[in-house]
Structure 1
């Protein structure tokens, strides 16, 4: 950073400010022992920064950029001729297409994908203050898809957009034409239209730089490298999930786990393949990519919402895997279409312990082994998957570990039925810390339909490293051939039906597998603690980066308040009713009869400025359709107006179409105020106090809609709103990061007890006499 400042002739704080305010500022180079930056990437970025007239040097003509100055001083002061030559090579290339030249040992496609993903995500983040940030991320993915899958359609889109036509209209027409010519890609239509609906008018943002950047991937009317685009898509999905978390309960499965699932599944080219909750399509891709061709039967995937369906479609198509995709996973779990389709192979990583139904119909033909609880979908997914298996079919699914030993009556009854029927072939315990979103271990269940055997292969890989996962596949395949056994690091054995019955039909590998030695296995204990410590270290490093950003932002924003008397240059004070639509919830949220299908957001779901799923109620689709003004769109805010009236939350893509409850109010901001700014503003202690004072005195405090519209809002200019939101969002991220560390430390404490003390029941002798 200091070197950049010196070579561009500015003070170090100026570089810090560039990095803070511009999301596309180059990231530190990978594999650098300290925070070093690629010189060519820095030069490329500085090409976008003009030197002001008063800061020009005598030898610099008007219009000079800091990039040109950086190159001159870099070449003059660098003893490395190769570096200087690299800098020279980026002259004369369009700014966004300039690439750093990677060292020979790096894969050029991987290096270019890294650079381009940073640029594209930077563009998305830079625009995220206008409208729903998710819309910009998804439009990047759609543009990349069209650039790769439809060069002719892409050329038309780029030409029409540059010619001045409204970008949103052009995008709609391009997608409509693309899907019309390719009926199997209907998965693109609904999500793309939703993305278009979420974009603000082009007057509020300029799509041309983004189009130019995507266009630079290949020559006109030709498709870019399939390898490059596939790697770029994977990087963008990883980065999006890292920034946004797993929205809607679906998240990306780690590569080590997808490869393990693929090895256990061993797909055949003719297999009919399903993922009933496919997320971004990672499991389908890992299973099908090695065996599927353009003439194979397409794989089938169902996502929880249109956004992951879009991700999965792009991911699979650009990797050459034909797919039939939809966004009705939850509807299919609640009310499957008749007759049920059957599949030879099912893979899935459904959300853990998801609340999925307020009322479960006992007579459903899928509940062969028992009616699953509505507040935990683990055994609903397992039975749903079993019902979709063709005779002789198999399933490999990722399930939380408590499903193997839960003593809840519904869970234990269903698990016992599955065991007695021979459906469960294998259960594998994996180590903790594999998923970014949780530090707990996970299990993999292998199901086989119509199996004659009743034993279950237990594999305890809880202390294994990810590099050992191929050994799990070998153990399982050898066991199926009748000669498999575990190893010292991965113990395994088949457990017979009588032993399973004696254990209360538990499927916990740790209950049946031990080293056979008394006392503590020091190496295994040390490995468990090492993995837990590594997870906490990763979380702590992430928290430190966020905290550093908070510190930098705090320093830059210090002393930049609204000014004397609460008014700065361009700051306004205006009633809330002038800035957004204020819509009260319906007086009731149900009609008699009908199937509850649409979620209803009540005060219980609004916590910490977020909408949570726990305990959510549902109403009928018919009733929701009768009150369209009360249904959510991305960027809407939901505020509580009865009872705990100081709660407010921001809706995102996942909440589209959800209904607000009778005790809530919907706030739909207009263009002059950012939804995220209004969210934080309504959390201001003085605003909260104003709301409380404005409530009527009753058994439950209630604030009137008229009074809500009168709430005074301090409104800075839009750029200032973005700065404020950036800082407050960083603080929210810091809170989340430190909460994750706290949770991981609690989990490590539990793991340490098990690792250091072992199985206290089996090791304990007779109790000493009192």
Structure 2
């Protein structure tokens, strides 16, 4: 995004300082208040309060609407009827003890009880709203959490009002997503367990386009893939209920984050009745998904057991016990519907590794004609890991067909390779992001290649459509750089002889100027008695 600029009287263009966004301002203040508390712990304090503030604001907004409506105003006297009315409008019922105004009035009282009051508020919310049972954090009164600072955080969040055309979901979504990303950075490698870079999620979704059907993520983290899928459907005038969401998460606290992340957006999802490891306890054993979207843990060495390795999911070869990459790939394939497609993130090693039978598994997947597209991503997209990564896209059916009234061409025996390593812009000194133009370039290339009548053409150094025979000749290595070649160098407009003469003259002038500078230095040194 270009910064605002204005021209001064001297003609020099000066940049104006952009106003900090609401999420940036909140993060800076909230992070300062956490003191010495570990980011992994404070994450649940801050995100839990944001969630509580949102549902309280949403409740107050709906209550104001009821009071302004003559017909609904008559129902206010009957709490049970009013409660059913609110729940029917996808508004959580918030008892008096859990409303933000009640907590704010007691946030900075002389007696530090705010933590206990928040714990009670969370408990009452779960009692009144069964879908939140076991989801909310209820340890705000613990001794290591400074109660006076907690009261300051409550006052800080009181300045944020979740009210807009979408009932605050736009503002809330931005704040919640920003906090998730900042906590992922603060936690380092551990943060990758619950958060995937937003631009990577957008690219996956733009390429798969999950308009309608069952969407599955067996390692869903905080639910970012689902949020982006819903957002994509709405942005393209689809209906939210056209997408059914299924997910699973093995980490208890991350599972709760996902439940809150989806609940605040009114997204219905089946994340199973509990958190559970996908390999050891598949909570959706009979699911055949139309779309799989996932960012599984990279190179996970602690995933298997004898029972798991003897399972039925390994149609293309038993994955090595020391690396889960091809266990995830085969799990995704196992859960794909006959016409389903999958898009997921993996470490680059998955493209070429020959260790522990991984090369044989990859060969069988290629020979089964499941690999639709491979994308190499630029480095530094993930704040939590420096491992180079890529995107895999698998398709159960690459023959011609219809998707969203768009005719797909017969791609059997073909795979598209995209080398996107040169794309992206530095957002910070260490973090790169894919711009909307970058995402469009990659996604459009994929769609033009897949669709009948698409204007696709190989581009040296960027993309190439390759046959399975070509991949076989490369020993089933799937690294895009092997297939796309190198970009053609721009033709030199200046003839070599003229260019050489110009550069030589420039060098001669620079050497003469250097000699004059040396002479002045010697004269200056001689003037203070240090000449030679």
The structural deviation recorded for 1:160 is: 5.8
The residue that corresponds to 2:173 in the other structure is 230
Paired with 1:229 and 1:377, the residues of 2 have a C-alpha distance of 35
Contact 1:341/1:388, CA 8 A, preserved across alignment: yes
The answer for unaligned runs of 5 or more in structure 1 is: 1-30, 33-102, 524-770
Contact 1:258/1:286, CA 8 A, preserved across alignment: yes
The structural deviation recorded for 1:154 is: 7.8
Matched, 1:446 2:393: yes
Paired with 1:170 and 1:286, the residues of 2 have a C-alpha distance of 34
2:288 to 342, 346, 369: 342
The residue that corresponds to 1:192 in the other structure is 137
Matches within 5 A, 1:29-40: none
Contact 1:265/1:287, CA 8 A, preserved across alignment: no
Matches within 5 A, 1:92-131: 111-124=21-34, 126=35, 128-129=36-37
Give the number of equivalent residue pairs. 410
The structural deviation recorded for 1:248 is: 6.6
Name the CA shift for 1:381/1:148 in 2 (closer, same or farther; >3 Å).
same
The residue that corresponds to 1:258 in the other structure is 201
The residue that corresponds to 1:508 in the other structure is 479
Paired with 1:283 and 1:236, the residues of 2 have a C-alpha distance of 16
Question: SS of the residue aligned with 1:396?
Answer: strand
The structural deviation recorded for 1:477 is: 0.6
Contact 1:289/1:319, CA 8 A, preserved across alignment: no
Contact 2:30/2:153, CA 8 A, preserved across alignment: yes
Matches within 5 A, 1:71-220: 111-124=21-34, 126=35, 128-129=36-37, 133-151=39-57, 153=94, 156-157=97-98, 158=100, 159=102, 162=106, 166-186=113-133, 189-190=134-135, 192-193=137-138, 195-196=139-140, 199-200=142-143, 207-218=150-161
Paired with 2:416 and 2:447, the residues of 1 have a C-alpha distance of 11
Contact 1:218/1:224, CA 8 A, preserved across alignment: no
The structural deviation recorded for 1:331 is: 1.4
Paired with 2:344 and 2:245, the residues of 1 have a C-alpha distance of 16
The structural deviation recorded for 1:341 is: 1.8
Question: SS of the residue aligned with 2:271?
Answer: strand
Matched, 1:305 2:247: no
The residue that corresponds to 1:498 in the other structure is 469
Paired with 1:328 and 1:490, the residues of 2 have a C-alpha distance of 46
Question: SS of the residue aligned with 1:332?
Answer: coil
Paired with 1:516 and 1:226, the residues of 2 have a C-alpha distance of 44
Name the CA shift for 1:105/1:381 in 2 (closer, same or farther; >3 Å).
same
Paired with 2:176 and 2:118, the residues of 1 have a C-alpha distance of 19
Paired with 1:394 and 1:432, the residues of 2 have a C-alpha distance of 26
Matches within 5 A, 1:673-688: none
1:279 to 221, 225, 248: 221
Name the CA shift for 1:196/1:400 in 2 (closer, same or farther; >3 Å).
same
The residue that corresponds to 1:24 in the other structure is none
Contact 1:296/1:322, CA 8 A, preserved across alignment: no
Question: SS of the residue aligned with 2:291?
Answer: strand
Paired with 2:457 and 2:423, the residues of 1 have a C-alpha distance of 12
Paired with 2:95 and 2:174, the residues of 1 have a C-alpha distance of 20
Question: SS of the residue aligned with 1:375?
Answer: coil
1:364 to 311, 315, 318: 311
Paired with 1:431 and 1:425, the residues of 2 have a C-alpha distance of 20
Contact 2:300/2:323, CA 8 A, preserved across alignment: yes
Name the CA shift for 1:439/1:201 in 2 (closer, same or farther; >3 Å).
closer
The structural deviation recorded for 1:397 is: 0.2
2:233 to 280, 283, 291: 291
The residue that corresponds to 1:379 in the other structure is 326
Name the CA shift for 1:288/1:227 in 2 (closer, same or farther; >3 Å).
closer
Contact 2:162/2:168, CA 8 A, preserved across alignment: no
Q: What does the per-residue CA deviation read over 1:172-227, in whole Å, with 9 as the maximum and x for residues that have no partner?
A: 443333334444444xx24524x558x3277865532222222232399xx98433
Paired with 2:162 and 2:320, the residues of 1 have a C-alpha distance of 56
Q: What does the per-residue CA deviation read over 1:49-97, in whole Å, with 9 as the maximum and x for residues that have no partner?
A: xxxxxxxxxxxxxxxxxxxxxxxxxxxxxxxxxxxxxxxxxxxxxxxxx
The structural deviation recorded for 1:510 is: 1.4
Paired with 1:382 and 1:375, the residues of 2 have a C-alpha distance of 15
The structural deviation recorded for 1:371 is: 0.7
TM-score (norm 2): 0.68
Contact 1:277/1:329, CA 8 A, preserved across alignment: no
The structural deviation recorded for 1:438 is: 3.5
